[in-house]
Amino acid sequence: MLNELNNKNIVVTGGYGFIGNHLIRLLVEKTSANVIVVDKLTYASTYSNELVSNTHNFVYLDISSKYFGENLINTVVKRQLIPKNSKIDYVLHLAAESHVDSSIKNPGIFVETNVNGTLNVLEFVKTQDCKLVHVSTDEVYGHLTNYKDCFTEETPLNPRSPYSASKAASDLLVQSYVNTYGISAIITRCCNNFGIYQHREKFIPTCIKSIVNNKPIPLYGNGSNVREWISAKDHALAILQIAVKGTFGQIYNIGSGIEFTNLELATKIIDFAYNIHGIKGEIVNVEDRLGHDFRYAIDNSKYRNEISNDSYTTLDFSLHEIFQFYKNKY
């Protein structure tokens, strides 16, 4: 399926972020696409010489700049990043501020990046007449208060944090550009991701960092909050498959069906650290996060019926790679 991306000119915003790293590597390994990475190299970016190759190009830009589109196209032309007489075929829009705790402390930067930045990306897509895949989150749906329901693409938006509100606003902007200007855009909404290249502020890196530094894992409340988890590699593959096979104007939920309470996940990592590495870990309960959502769970039947019915990578399968990555990092 990914062969259809061969020789396409693809811009990836936030390409050195967590999901972006996996997506770029997949594009480089599986396709002959001409990949142009746009990133402003924030604290959450992972830039390495190993990732930089002749198969993709890096453009240092901030999507929240009102000159984003103009600067991007000028750079593309000046540096001859795409073949002569060709154009940008796809924009895969992953750039975003994503940490809920940070959004509670400083919501303004989330509006600036996630809302205004997406507006600038949309203007670029509109003027260049290219295809857009806008990567969003299941958190725009709010939260589930029981273990029975799941989010579908028709679930009303009900964001409960500044982060999810900024992502919901960006989703609505994308839909408005589809309806008003007729751009070719798809929205994807994914559950929590696990894997390497994630910033230390996230839950799994925090657990591993705490264990290797002989500190207790801070667990919000009683740890009963539930999240669905998917491998970042699987998520990256789903984005590319949707870009190829998805119907423009549509929304696709990406999920795995793998759910853990935060306590279950922290305990799983502690057990792994002790059984495999002989390192003991412990948990300390801390004051709960403001407006802490109880449960996220996705109905991904639309994706599985229309795009792909591939199996998903389990967390148990990935834990050795993940633990080793963060153990060495911290």
Q: Does residue 139 carry a catalytic annotation? A: yes
Q: Does residue 60 carry a catalytic annotation? A: no
Domain around 69: 2-199+230-257+297-312
Rounding to the nearest 10 degrees, give the CA dihedral for residues 287, 290, 294, 295.
Answer: -120
In a domain, 268, yes or no: no
Query: Which CATH number does the domain housing residue 145 bear?
Result: 3.40.50.720
Tell me if the pTM is above 0.85. Answer: yes
Which member of 139, 234, 259, 293 is catalytic? Answer: 139
Report the number of distinct structural domains present in the chain.
1
Taking the C-alpha atoms of residue 153 and residue 187, their distance in angstroms, rounded to an integer, is: 10
With cut-offs at 50, 70 and 90, classify the pLDDT of residue 148. Answer: confident
Mean pLDDT over each residue of the chain, to the nearest integer: 94
Using an 8 Å Cβ cutoff, are 255 and 191 in contact? yes
What SS3 state is found at 1?
coil
Name the least confident of 142-151, 178-187, 241-250.
142-151
Q: What is the mean pLDDT of residues 121-125?
A: 98
Residue 189 has pLDDT above 60, yes or no: yes
At residue 55, the pLDDT reads 58
Q: Mind listing the pLDDT tens digit for each residue in 35-86?
A: 999 999 877 777 665 565 555 799 999 999 999 999 999 999 999 999 988 9
In a domain, 88, yes or no: yes
In a domain, 77, yes or no: yes
With cut-offs at 50, 70 and 90, classify the pLDDT of residue 225. Answer: very high
Between 45 and 185, the higher pLDDT residue: 185
Q: Does residue 326 carry a catalytic annotation? A: no
- CA 295 to chain CA centroid, Å, is 19
Which residues have a Cβ under 8 Å from the Cβ of 325 and sit 6 or more positions away?
196, 197
In a domain, 14, yes or no: yes
Q: What is the mean pLDDT of residues 115-124?
A: 98
At residue 200, the pLDDT reads 86
Which member of 62, 138, 171, 234 is catalytic? Answer: 138
In a domain, 270, yes or no: no
DSSP track, 197-217: T--TTSHHHHHHHHHHTT-PE
In a domain, 155, yes or no: yes
User: Which segments within 4-130 are labelled E, that is strand?
Assistant: 9-13, 34-39, 56-60, 90-93
With cut-offs at 50, 70 and 90, classify the pLDDT of residue 291. Answer: confident
In a domain, 239, yes or no: yes
Taking the C-alpha atoms of residue 73 and residue 314, their distance in angstroms, rounded to an integer, is: 40
Using an 8 Å Cβ cutoff, are 15 and 38 in contact? yes
* 231 bridge partner residues: 194
Which member of 90, 141, 163, 252 is catalytic? Answer: 163
At residue 126, the pLDDT reads 97
